[in-house]
Amino acid sequence: MVKNLTSIQSAASRPARLAALKQSFQDWNSSPDLLTRLARRLSTTLSLETQLGILVEEIQGVIPFDAMNYRHRIARQDFVFSTGMGGPHRCEYALNLDGHYYGTLTFHRRQKFSDEELSGFEMVIAAAICPIRNSCQFIAIEQAALTDSLTAIGNKRAMDEDLVRAAALSGRHGTEWSLVLCDLDHFKQINDSHGHVVGDHILARTAEQLERSIRTSDTVYRFGGEEFAILLPHTSLEEAREVADRARDAISRIRVDGGDEPVGVTASCGVAVHLSDENPEQWLIRADEALYRAKAQGRNCTRTFAMIS
Protein backbone atom coordinates (compact mmCIF):
# COMPACT_ATOMS: atom_id res chain seq x y z
CA MET A 1 0.00 0.00 0.00
CA VAL A 2 2.81 2.40 0.96
CA LYS A 3 4.70 1.47 -2.23
CA ASN A 4 1.66 2.21 -4.41
CA LEU A 5 1.14 5.56 -2.66
CA THR A 6 4.75 6.51 -3.29
CA SER A 7 4.39 5.63 -6.97
CA ILE A 8 1.25 7.72 -7.25
CA GLN A 9 2.91 10.70 -5.57
CA SER A 10 5.96 10.35 -7.82
CA ALA A 11 3.79 10.24 -10.94
CA ALA A 12 1.82 13.28 -9.78
CA SER A 13 5.01 15.31 -9.30
CA ARG A 14 6.44 14.56 -12.74
CA PRO A 15 4.62 17.39 -14.56
CA ALA A 16 5.93 19.84 -11.96
CA ARG A 17 9.48 18.55 -12.36
CA LEU A 18 9.22 18.75 -16.14
CA ALA A 19 7.90 22.30 -15.88
CA ALA A 20 10.79 23.21 -13.60
CA LEU A 21 13.23 21.63 -16.05
CA LYS A 22 11.74 23.61 -18.93
CA GLN A 23 11.99 26.84 -16.96
CA SER A 24 15.57 26.05 -15.99
CA PHE A 25 16.48 25.46 -19.62
CA GLN A 26 14.85 28.70 -20.70
CA ASP A 27 16.69 30.61 -17.98
CA TRP A 28 20.00 29.02 -18.95
CA ASN A 29 19.42 29.67 -22.64
CA SER A 30 18.52 33.34 -22.19
CA SER A 31 20.60 34.31 -19.18
CA PRO A 32 22.39 37.67 -19.57
CA ASP A 33 25.04 36.51 -17.09
CA LEU A 34 28.47 36.51 -18.77
CA LEU A 35 29.72 33.21 -17.35
CA THR A 36 26.51 31.36 -18.20
CA ARG A 37 26.45 32.82 -21.70
CA LEU A 38 30.14 32.05 -22.18
CA ALA A 39 29.73 28.43 -21.08
CA ARG A 40 26.72 28.06 -23.37
CA ARG A 41 28.52 29.51 -26.40
CA LEU A 42 31.73 27.53 -25.85
CA SER A 43 29.77 24.28 -25.60
CA THR A 44 28.46 24.68 -29.16
CA THR A 45 31.80 24.00 -30.88
CA LEU A 46 34.97 21.92 -30.69
CA SER A 47 36.88 24.37 -32.87
CA LEU A 48 39.58 25.83 -30.64
CA GLU A 49 39.94 28.87 -32.91
CA THR A 50 36.18 29.55 -32.69
CA GLN A 51 36.22 29.15 -28.92
CA LEU A 52 39.06 31.64 -28.54
CA GLY A 53 37.17 34.10 -30.74
CA ILE A 54 34.14 33.73 -28.44
CA LEU A 55 36.39 34.28 -25.43
CA VAL A 56 37.69 37.53 -26.93
CA GLU A 57 34.15 38.80 -27.58
CA GLU A 58 32.85 38.01 -24.10
CA ILE A 59 35.85 39.34 -22.15
CA GLN A 60 36.03 42.55 -24.16
CA GLY A 61 32.56 43.41 -22.89
CA VAL A 62 33.75 43.62 -19.28
CA ILE A 63 37.55 43.96 -19.33
CA PRO A 64 39.03 46.11 -22.12
CA PHE A 65 42.34 44.87 -23.55
CA ASP A 66 44.41 45.61 -26.65
CA ALA A 67 45.52 42.10 -27.60
CA MET A 68 45.04 38.46 -26.63
CA ASN A 69 47.44 35.66 -27.53
CA TYR A 70 47.06 31.91 -27.05
CA ARG A 71 49.87 29.43 -27.61
CA HIS A 72 49.95 25.64 -27.23
CA ARG A 73 51.71 22.67 -28.79
CA ILE A 74 49.20 19.95 -29.61
CA ALA A 75 50.25 16.61 -31.10
CA ARG A 76 53.65 17.91 -32.28
CA GLN A 77 52.10 20.99 -33.88
CA ASP A 78 52.14 24.57 -32.63
CA PHE A 79 48.73 26.20 -32.28
CA VAL A 80 48.83 29.99 -32.12
CA PHE A 81 45.90 32.41 -31.89
CA SER A 82 46.42 36.19 -31.81
CA THR A 83 44.14 39.18 -32.00
CA GLY A 84 44.83 42.89 -31.64
CA MET A 85 48.07 44.80 -31.09
CA GLY A 86 49.96 44.38 -27.83
CA GLY A 87 50.71 46.99 -25.17
CA PRO A 88 53.48 47.30 -22.55
CA HIS A 89 51.37 45.77 -19.76
CA ARG A 90 50.37 42.14 -19.80
CA CYS A 91 48.97 39.32 -17.69
CA GLU A 92 49.60 35.66 -18.48
CA TYR A 93 47.71 32.54 -17.49
CA ALA A 94 48.85 28.94 -17.91
CA LEU A 95 45.77 26.77 -18.43
CA ASN A 96 46.17 23.73 -16.18
CA LEU A 97 43.43 21.25 -15.34
CA ASP A 98 43.77 17.95 -13.46
CA GLY A 99 47.55 18.07 -13.82
CA HIS A 100 47.50 18.66 -17.58
CA TYR A 101 48.56 21.77 -19.48
CA TYR A 102 46.29 23.22 -22.17
CA GLY A 103 48.16 26.28 -23.36
CA THR A 104 48.88 29.82 -22.23
CA LEU A 105 46.65 32.89 -22.55
CA THR A 106 48.25 36.33 -22.53
CA PHE A 107 46.41 39.66 -22.44
CA HIS A 108 48.11 42.96 -23.37
CA ARG A 109 47.09 46.56 -22.74
CA ARG A 110 48.58 50.04 -22.80
CA GLN A 111 47.29 50.69 -19.27
CA LYS A 112 48.04 48.51 -16.28
CA PHE A 113 45.37 45.97 -15.34
CA SER A 114 43.70 46.54 -11.96
CA ASP A 115 43.43 43.83 -9.31
CA GLU A 116 39.68 43.61 -9.97
CA GLU A 117 40.31 43.08 -13.68
CA LEU A 118 42.90 40.37 -12.96
CA SER A 119 40.34 38.62 -10.75
CA GLY A 120 37.82 38.94 -13.58
CA PHE A 121 40.20 37.24 -16.01
CA GLU A 122 40.66 34.37 -13.57
CA MET A 123 36.90 33.86 -13.21
CA VAL A 124 36.32 33.85 -16.96
CA ILE A 125 39.22 31.48 -17.59
CA ALA A 126 37.90 29.12 -14.91
CA ALA A 127 34.62 28.95 -16.83
CA ALA A 128 36.37 28.46 -20.19
CA ILE A 129 39.09 25.95 -19.36
CA CYS A 130 36.95 22.78 -19.62
CA PRO A 131 35.67 23.55 -23.15
CA ILE A 132 39.21 24.55 -24.18
CA ARG A 133 40.51 21.26 -22.73
CA ASN A 134 37.91 19.35 -24.77
CA SER A 135 38.94 21.13 -27.97
CA CYS A 136 42.63 20.45 -27.36
CA GLN A 137 41.88 16.77 -26.84
CA PHE A 138 39.75 16.71 -29.98
CA ILE A 139 42.63 18.18 -32.01
CA ALA A 140 45.00 15.59 -30.51
CA ILE A 141 42.62 12.76 -31.45
CA GLU A 142 42.26 14.10 -34.99
CA GLN A 143 46.03 14.35 -35.34
CA ALA A 144 46.51 10.82 -33.99
CA ALA A 145 44.23 9.52 -36.74
CA LEU A 146 46.49 11.20 -39.31
CA THR A 147 49.82 10.18 -37.79
CA ASP A 148 51.94 7.08 -38.31
CA SER A 149 52.50 5.59 -34.87
CA LEU A 150 56.05 4.34 -35.54
CA THR A 151 57.60 7.40 -37.17
CA ALA A 152 55.27 10.16 -35.83
CA ILE A 153 54.89 11.67 -39.32
CA GLY A 154 51.74 11.83 -41.44
CA ASN A 155 50.18 8.55 -42.58
CA LYS A 156 48.46 7.59 -45.85
CA ARG A 157 45.18 9.15 -44.80
CA ALA A 158 46.93 12.45 -44.11
CA MET A 159 48.74 12.24 -47.45
CA ASP A 160 45.53 11.53 -49.37
CA GLU A 161 43.77 14.50 -47.76
CA ASP A 162 46.71 16.82 -48.41
CA LEU A 163 47.03 15.68 -52.03
CA VAL A 164 43.39 16.61 -52.63
CA ARG A 165 43.98 20.03 -51.09
CA ALA A 166 47.24 20.57 -52.98
CA ALA A 167 45.72 19.58 -56.33
CA ALA A 168 42.86 22.02 -55.76
CA LEU A 169 45.23 24.86 -54.84
CA SER A 170 47.50 24.12 -57.78
CA GLY A 171 44.57 24.11 -60.20
CA ARG A 172 42.97 27.23 -58.72
CA HIS A 173 46.07 29.42 -58.44
CA GLY A 174 48.34 27.91 -61.09
CA THR A 175 51.11 27.29 -58.56
CA GLU A 176 53.57 24.43 -58.86
CA TRP A 177 53.29 21.55 -56.40
CA SER A 178 55.58 18.55 -56.57
CA LEU A 179 55.35 15.08 -55.07
CA VAL A 180 58.34 12.88 -54.22
CA LEU A 181 57.90 9.18 -53.46
CA CYS A 182 60.78 7.41 -51.66
CA ASP A 183 61.10 3.66 -51.29
CA LEU A 184 63.83 2.03 -49.18
CA ASP A 185 65.87 -0.39 -51.29
CA HIS A 186 65.91 -4.09 -50.33
CA PHE A 187 64.22 -3.31 -47.03
CA LYS A 188 62.77 -6.83 -46.74
CA GLN A 189 66.33 -8.19 -46.59
CA ILE A 190 67.05 -5.95 -43.59
CA ASN A 191 64.02 -7.32 -41.74
CA ASP A 192 64.89 -10.89 -42.70
CA SER A 193 68.57 -10.61 -41.77
CA HIS A 194 68.45 -8.34 -38.72
CA GLY A 195 64.88 -8.53 -37.44
CA HIS A 196 61.97 -6.10 -37.32
CA VAL A 197 63.38 -4.14 -34.38
CA VAL A 198 66.32 -3.03 -36.51
CA GLY A 199 63.94 -2.45 -39.41
CA ASP A 200 61.74 -0.23 -37.26
CA HIS A 201 64.79 1.79 -36.20
CA ILE A 202 65.69 2.26 -39.87
CA LEU A 203 62.16 3.49 -40.62
CA ALA A 204 62.16 5.92 -37.69
CA ARG A 205 65.59 7.28 -38.63
CA THR A 206 64.45 7.64 -42.25
CA ALA A 207 61.53 9.80 -41.17
CA GLU A 208 63.88 11.96 -39.08
CA GLN A 209 66.32 12.42 -41.97
CA LEU A 210 63.55 13.28 -44.41
CA GLU A 211 62.15 15.94 -42.08
CA ARG A 212 65.63 17.45 -41.71
CA SER A 213 66.05 17.55 -45.49
CA ILE A 214 62.99 19.71 -46.24
CA ARG A 215 61.63 23.21 -45.66
CA THR A 216 59.09 24.01 -42.96
CA SER A 217 56.43 24.39 -45.67
CA ASP A 218 57.03 20.83 -46.95
CA THR A 219 55.42 17.72 -45.47
CA VAL A 220 56.65 14.14 -45.05
CA TYR A 221 54.44 11.04 -44.90
CA ARG A 222 54.86 7.31 -44.43
CA PHE A 223 52.18 5.79 -46.66
CA GLY A 224 53.35 2.19 -46.83
CA GLY A 225 55.68 -0.28 -45.13
CA GLU A 226 58.95 1.25 -46.33
CA GLU A 227 57.41 3.90 -48.58
CA PHE A 228 57.60 7.61 -47.83
CA ALA A 229 56.37 10.73 -49.60
CA ILE A 230 57.27 14.41 -49.58
CA LEU A 231 54.75 17.06 -50.66
CA LEU A 232 56.41 20.26 -51.87
CA PRO A 233 54.41 23.49 -52.43
CA HIS A 234 55.71 26.13 -54.85
CA THR A 235 58.31 23.70 -56.18
CA SER A 236 59.22 22.94 -59.78
CA LEU A 237 60.11 19.50 -61.08
CA GLU A 238 63.85 20.21 -61.08
CA GLU A 239 63.72 21.73 -57.60
CA ALA A 240 61.81 18.66 -56.38
CA ARG A 241 64.44 16.41 -57.93
CA GLU A 242 67.10 18.24 -55.93
CA VAL A 243 65.07 17.67 -52.76
CA ALA A 244 64.77 13.96 -53.62
CA ASP A 245 68.52 13.63 -54.18
CA ARG A 246 69.22 15.46 -50.91
CA ALA A 247 66.80 13.12 -49.12
CA ARG A 248 68.46 10.05 -50.64
CA ASP A 249 71.86 11.28 -49.55
CA ALA A 250 70.60 11.79 -46.00
CA ILE A 251 69.05 8.31 -45.93
CA SER A 252 72.27 6.72 -47.22
CA ARG A 253 74.10 8.07 -44.16
CA ILE A 254 71.81 6.30 -41.69
CA ARG A 255 73.53 3.69 -39.54
CA VAL A 256 71.70 1.48 -37.04
CA ASP A 257 73.32 -1.04 -34.69
CA GLY A 258 72.72 -4.46 -36.19
CA GLY A 259 74.77 -6.46 -33.71
CA ASP A 260 77.84 -7.60 -35.64
CA GLU A 261 77.99 -4.48 -37.80
CA PRO A 262 76.08 -1.23 -38.48
CA VAL A 263 73.15 -1.51 -40.84
CA GLY A 264 72.58 1.08 -43.57
CA VAL A 265 70.05 1.56 -46.33
CA THR A 266 69.56 3.41 -49.62
CA ALA A 267 66.43 4.75 -51.27
CA SER A 268 64.93 5.18 -54.72
CA CYS A 269 62.80 8.23 -55.52
CA GLY A 270 60.17 9.16 -58.08
CA VAL A 271 59.13 12.77 -58.70
CA ALA A 272 56.09 14.30 -60.41
CA VAL A 273 54.88 17.90 -60.58
CA HIS A 274 51.11 18.44 -60.52
CA LEU A 275 49.63 19.11 -63.95
CA SER A 276 46.66 21.32 -64.76
CA ASP A 277 43.28 19.53 -64.42
CA GLU A 278 44.99 16.44 -63.00
CA ASN A 279 43.30 14.69 -60.09
CA PRO A 280 45.30 13.49 -57.04
CA GLU A 281 45.16 9.85 -58.12
CA GLN A 282 46.67 10.62 -61.54
CA TRP A 283 49.38 12.70 -59.89
CA LEU A 284 50.22 9.89 -57.47
CA ILE A 285 50.25 7.31 -60.29
CA ARG A 286 52.81 9.34 -62.26
CA ALA A 287 55.06 9.77 -59.22
CA ASP A 288 54.77 6.03 -58.58
CA GLU A 289 55.65 5.30 -62.21
CA ALA A 290 58.77 7.45 -61.83
CA LEU A 291 59.64 5.52 -58.67
CA TYR A 292 59.18 2.24 -60.55
CA ARG A 293 61.66 3.45 -63.17
CA ALA A 294 64.17 4.30 -60.45
CA LYS A 295 63.80 0.79 -59.05
CA ALA A 296 64.10 -0.82 -62.49
CA GLN A 297 67.16 1.22 -63.41
CA GLY A 298 69.37 0.11 -60.55
CA ARG A 299 67.87 1.65 -57.41
CA ASN A 300 69.48 4.34 -55.24
CA CYS A 301 68.60 6.98 -57.83
CA THR A 302 65.90 9.56 -58.66
CA ARG A 303 63.66 9.60 -61.74
CA THR A 304 61.08 12.19 -62.79
CA PHE A 305 57.81 11.95 -64.70
CA ALA A 306 56.43 15.22 -66.01
CA MET A 307 53.82 14.10 -68.54
CA ILE A 308 50.85 11.74 -68.40
CA SER A 309 51.70 8.63 -70.39
The SS3 assignment for 266 reads coil
User: Cα dihedral sign for 72, 75, 77, 79?
Assistant: negative
CA angle 24, 30, 34 (to 5 degrees): 105
Compute φ and ψ for 64, nearest 5 degrees: -65, 140
DSSP for residue 275? P
Q: Are 90 and 54 in contact (CB under 8 A)?
A: no
How far apart, in whole angstroms, are the C-alpha atoms of residue 21 and residue 27? 10
Residue 180 CB neighbours (<10 A)? 30
> What's the rounded Cα separation, in Å, for the pair 286 and 295?
14
Distances in whole angstroms, Cα of residue 56 to Cα of each of 68, 83, 94, 223: 7, 8, 17, 40
SS3 216: coil
Helix intervals (H) in the chain: 2-30, 34-42, 48-60, 115-145, 156-173, 187-194, 196-212, 237-252, 280-296
Q: Which residues are catalytic?
A: 226
Q: Return the number of other C-beta atoms located less than 10 Å from residue 41's C-beta.
A: 18
- Alpha-carbon distance of 162 to 139, in angstroms, equals 17
